[in-house]
Structure 1
Amino acid sequence: MLKAFIVLGLVSALAGVGAGADLLHRMPIYKWENSVKSRKNVMSEVAHLRGKYNVATTATSDIISGEPLANSMNMYYYGQITIGTPGVIFIVMFDTGSANLWVPSYNCTSTACLSHTQYNPNQSTTFVPNGSDITLKYGTGGMSGYLAMDTVTVNNLVILNQTFGVAVSELDNHFDNVAFDGILGMGFANLAEDSVTPPFYNMYNEALISQPVFSFYLSIDGTTSMGGELILGGSDPNYYIGNMTYVPISRDDYWQFDMSEAVLNGVTLCSNCQAIADTGTSLIMAPIDAYTKLYSTLDINPDASVDCSTVSSMPVLKFVIGGTVFGIPPSYYVLYLDGECVVGIQTMGTDFWILGDIFIGQYYTEFDVGNNRIGFASVSGAQYTNQANSQFASFTTIFSLFALLNIILKLY
């Protein structure tokens, strides 16, 4: 009988946790990329992140300077929510680097507001006025407006009386041509402006999800607009191979954690570093010292471009997190933009790394609010610790389980 239970357990492990996955709430994530992406888009994203992380522009943080910015950024992953009764559909970017939900107001006249869906409280029977103003900084400007309370529905999860920002003015023209209407922040509650309870916290507080956990599977390959899934209430093991590597959160506002090391071609870029997982950027942002070493090692041009013919021979960028090596091959950290190859690793002078969609697209990421930790697992099964035999790594976990099963059967 013991033998039978062991066999059943191992077979279940091989098949994945199907029953648990059925309890998860799945939000389709769509991917939008500019029809013509350029180096200016990348620089616009760097400017946006400076405002988001309250980093001033300085000579040391401005490796590339003196160039006009594009009025849109590089890549976004977004989904649909509804606000009000009857519900109005808004397209929002799910951003783990912020914690407030906001959408444009019907009486906002900026270009960004007029080109997107706008919230009109007079047309919702469940609107409740709040009376407070709110200002959020993004890039060179941001949004300013007021707080409102209304019903917010995320993937059929109905949040009653959710407080959110309504933008009366959008000061940052980076939002003019983006595919989304607003932003739904998924950072820790401590990060939220005006002490507003973020939507995800209310999902759990109102028992709409069983666990205070969410996770992202982002698809950075392919040509379709389908960009993956935001999983609410847990993680789906069908999206990753092998075990999840967990590390504790070192600062509970951003999703910040300890990273043991970053290495490129044998050069240690940093040791005992801090990193933040941020779905609100497509880039990887490095501390200035690490970027200087990386810049020299990769022989990057002053305008952040590299010779496209050399990309395949570039080294893998390796991050050591929780004792596991997570590698990013050059085919992912070099972006092909408007006929040129641009390194998607930038700097803005911080002392921490920001791991955006270039990283998260490679590694399924679990954000565990309840246990104050973050987890990563390979989407493909390959950690890219080298550029050879990467497919072999995809079968490592399955092979190990079968080997363990064989040993146990012999013992019994």
Structure 2
Amino acid sequence: MLSSSSSERWLSRGLLDVLIRAGLIAVLAIACFRVFYPFLNLMVWSLILAVTLYPLQVGLKDKLISKDGHAATLIVLIAIAIIIVPAYLLGAAIVEPVQQAMGTVESGEFQIPPPAESVAHWPLVGQRLYDFWSQAATDLTGVAQKFAPQLKDFGVALLKAIAGVGSGLLMFSVALIIAGVIMAYGDKGHRSAVQIASRISGPERGPRITQLCTATIRAVAQGVIGIAFIQMLLVGVAFVIKGIPGAGLLALGVLLLGIMQLPATLITVPVIVFVFATEGVSVVAIIFSIYVFVAGLADNVLKPLLLGRGVDVPMPVVLIGALGGMVTGGIIGLFVGPVLLAVGYQLFWQWVEDQPQVASSDDSGQS
């Protein structure tokens, strides 16, 4: 038998050993996180892309290509080509008009047409817009000098935005390559994910949580991109039929806004104003404006129908997770938010449903 003092010393020594081990593990975890943190966004993007594109690899493997590595390589090459070619065409389409505009301004041949008389009768801003437009049409140099600081700030912001887009495309391309490596070992990766989830939440819930995370990522990716693509078609066709200048670029902008979860009205409303300003009020302009404005709001109807399909979680949970994640974490948060909220929702209701049936047993005993 151990005395009380010796047992206390043994307990204190055991507690000290536990604290030392926990401290060392915490230090190791923090050090590993600091080393891995610069690559966190890249790896999260790679994992999202791998989970989203993996069904395509399975289809290619079953029908055309026998090896996982070859199928993943083909998907990555096609995806990079789909990104680079439109990016090059978009850059060329932007640079060439800018160069032509700069040459026109330098030659002094650039003239702004005077506004229509109907602009002055627009409610609230009509007279101010008419006066400013008239001044720009008669004295463009004076207007440019008046707003020189604002134009300079706008130019700097535009250059930063273009640089950000370039770096984003580069990171996305690298993430695609890493996603191809992950897809090449898709079966092993799935087993590892199930093992990790089972170790955290138990062997019964692990496979369910893994399946839920996978389905949520795919549903958000397909829902967001699919909705943005449908909206681009609805708006872009109207722009092309109406003959709006730069209709293709504007439609591409609608697609990008849809992916970033921003309203398409940022593009459709200025286009509507442009049509009324250049053509005046007519039946065709009114029909075009109503259609384009409604098409710009189509995502509000499509999201409840498409977002979250195939996920064993109510659609509002996925939608709130996507919007909240977008606000807090940007584009990556658009995918991470629904996953976290869906997993939390499932764990919460499992905890609620797993409560012991105390009341029913007491009732049976009293009876």
Task: Tell me if TM exceeds 0.5.
Answer: no
Q: Which has the higher helix share?
A: 2
Q: Which has the higher strand share?
A: 1
Question: Structure 1 length normalisation: TM-score?
Answer: 0.23
